[in-house]
A and B are shown apart, each in its own frame.
Chain A
Amino acid sequence: MGFGIAIKVQGPYALFCRPEMKAERVSYDVITPSAARAIIEACYFKPAIRWIIDRIHVMNEIRFDNVRRNEVENVISVRNVMAAFNGKPSDLHQYASLERQQRASLLLRDVSYVIEAHFEMTDRAGPDDTEEKHYNIAVRRLRKGQCYYQPYLGCREFSAKVELLEGDIPASFYTGTEKDLGWMLWDIDYSNDKKPLFFRPVMKNGIIEVPDLLKKGGMS
């Protein structure tokens, strides 16, 4: 087991989309382990390490808000790009007025989480890759506010404020309660044909213990 860190992650909006409600996006009640991993990876990641989320502390009350936006329907067609690439006439534009869809999103408001995580070395680690080295780089970057790209809460328009938490973890809004959050996405298993892995978190005193499903064989 590598060194652990705790980070405080906040933002006015967040959207951790439920896979079963994607057309009109609906957020999970809390951040998923995969979104939490991506926030840490936005700050520091190397193929030699794998970040594992241990615990998620939900600091604020869970509240929702609705936003509807004009969106386009389709993705870029590779066939058309290939035609253009080969010099054949092909229209690569996407026309907002012809492909307009109005979609609502159910967002989370004013979220604040403390994420406890650690990393493990992967089989891509070379002889120079020590746990101390990677831990020190990660902590240094978090302290300085450096990042590879701006971390975000589920979608890129909802950027996250990230701080290294070096003191005690404050008490959650949900202290003294227990809440079953139902089945939630844990992460995607990229080594196994992008298989989604699910878990059933229970939030006790605002704290979710996150299992490492890749280690335990997983459930899906």
Chain B
Amino acid sequence: MFNKNNPIANRYEFVLLFDVENGNPNGDPDAGNMPRIDPETGLGLVTDVCLKRKIRNYVSIAKGSEDGYDIYVQEGAVLNEQHLKAYKAVGIEPDTKNKRLPSDKDKAEQIIDFMCKHFYDIRTFGAVMTTEVNCGQLRGPVQINFARSIDPVVQQEVTITRMAVTNIKDMEKERSMGRKYIIPYGLYRVEGFVSANFAKKTGFSSSDLELLWEALINMFDHDRSAARGKMESRKLFIFQHSSMLGNAPAHKLFDCIKVNRVDPSTPPRFFTDYEVVVEKESIPDGVTLIERL
């Protein structure tokens, strides 16, 4: 729960490995919704915002209408329900209500605090407030890079048929055909950062952090759909620095986690086709590795 005076006190980095079987982890709007791919290397991509969406969705499922865990950037599907939730959430008057708003700077700060208090995604990822009161951007403690697959992925086009048509004029055709794009198998790696200093500004607490880890582990379990196929979080490595500023460069920690093919001569189809090597001896002093999955 929100308590601005209780932010996390350590810097963290994390590496998440997730995979997809016969699905499309992230469609590319520029390529007719084919799975995103790096054209130079053939490696599959999943954007930062795609994963942030899943974290938001997980939190909204896990926390329901609990105060302080509302999600600012909503998906449309549950519009009405969320509307009700919003009214309910703001129906509770904050203690500061009768206080006079002093100068503009304080006002801006109160507004930001109000948003941080109510919305988990603003505490976590930050948000852009309008420039009207000059709040500028609120950068959140958690930052996620693009995820990339370990090996080049193959985009496979699957043609499917439907035993019905949409319009009456097409009755004679009896059925229509469609397309699905799948990746037979892809193991993806994503790296992320948690800044304790930004946590101070948004009030991102250790229970918020715990919820983030939980979301990273479970987010695909609540995102099943015809397009996604079978997606799972496979490994979550967390590097906890013993200090707020950190004890080692992020890239050195990321380099300690290596993912290799067991048998490079056959195409990978399962997670067991890979081995994950953790070079524990290369982890610098002052950094603790926590394996959560």
Contacts and interface: CB of A to CB of B under 8 A. Distances in A.
| Same complex origin of A and B | yes
Interface in A74-101: 75-78, 81-82, 84-98
B193 A75 contact: no
A147 B74 contact: no
A64 to B, nearest CB: 11
Nearest to B49: A69
A68 B36 CA distance: 10
Contacts of A46: none
A91 B251 CA distance: 41
Contact of A150 (B28, B49, B77, B193): B193
B249 A161 contact: yes
B72 interface: yes
B94 A157 contact: no
Interface in B46-90: 47-49, 53, 70-77, 79, 82-83, 86-87, 90
Nearest to A148: B197
B145 to A, nearest CB: 6
Contact of A92 (B40, B53, B72): B72
Contacts of A77: 130
A81 to B, nearest CB: 5
A85 B131 CA distance: 18
A173 to B, nearest CB: 16
A158 B47 CA distance: 11
A65 B76 contact: no
B103 to A, nearest CB: 15
B129 interface: yes
B172 interface: no
Nearest to B94: A85
B90 A78 contact: no
B195 A149 contact: yes
Contact of A90 (B90, B143, B145): B90
A81 B116 CA distance: 11
Contact of B127 (A76, A147, A162): A76
Chain B, interface size category, equals 35 or more
Given A92-B118, A96-B75, A157-B145, A70 B29 contact: yes
B115 A92 contact: yes
A144 interface: yes
Contacts of B164: none
A95 B250 contact: no
Contacts of A163: 249
A76 B169 CA distance: 46
A89 B90 contact: yes
Interface in B222-247: 243, 245-247
Interface of A: 12-13, 65-72, 75-78, 81-82, 84-98, 102, 104, 109, 141, 144-150, 152, 156-159, 161-163
13 contacts: A67-B47, A69-B29, A78-B130, A85-B97, A85-B111, A90-B90, A91-B83, A97-B77, A145-B249, A146-B247, A148-B245, A161-B251, A163-B249
Given A68-B29, A147-B246, A150-B195, 16 more contacts: A13-B146, A67-B30, A69-B49, A77-B130, A78-B135, A84-B114, A85-B111, A87-B90, A91-B87, A93-B82, A95-B76, A145-B248, A146-B243, A152-B143, A161-B250, A163-B249
Going nearest first, the 9 A-B pairs with the smallest beta carbon separation are A145-B249, A97-B76, A149-B195, A87-B93, A157-B48, A150-B193, A146-B245, A84-B90, A68-B30
